[in-house]
Amino acid sequence: MAGGTFGRIAGLSGSLAVGLGAYGAHGFRRSDRDDYLKELFETANKYHFLHSLALLGVPHCRKPLLAGTLLTSGMAMFCGSLYYQAITGDPTLTKAAPLAGTLLIVGWAAMAL
């Protein structure tokens, strides 16, 4: 059951990544934001796409609930904090990025269990 749920989350997350990617390419990229904020947005979108795809593999691992929870939490925290800073210019939430990155790493490792 957990595996199917993460497959659905992967679909929703992937569609959100496409939408944000389109915004980044056609709206945000052409804004007057500085290059650093544009780079943050691109990094968030790249990790968002990659980990949405990784979630598709979660139903096929031995511990789907563990791996899926770690990957989903890490992706939301990491990408969310970078998207937030890129859009608002406020770096407050990027303090969560190291923890979120650790969740992503452990999530990938959990897929190997």
| pLDDT values of the chain reduced to their tens digit, one per residue, 113 residues | 566 899 899 999 999 999 999 998 888 777 778 889 999 999 999 999 999 999 999 999 999 999 999 999 999 999 999 999 999 999 999 899 999 999 999 999 999 98
**Own/partner long-range contacts of 19-26 (Cβ < 8 Å, ≥24 apart):** 20/44, 20/45, 20/48, 20/83, 21/45, 21/49
Rounded to two decimals, the pTM is: 0.90
Give the DSSP letter of residue 99.
Answer: H
Contact 17, 52 (CB under 8 A): yes
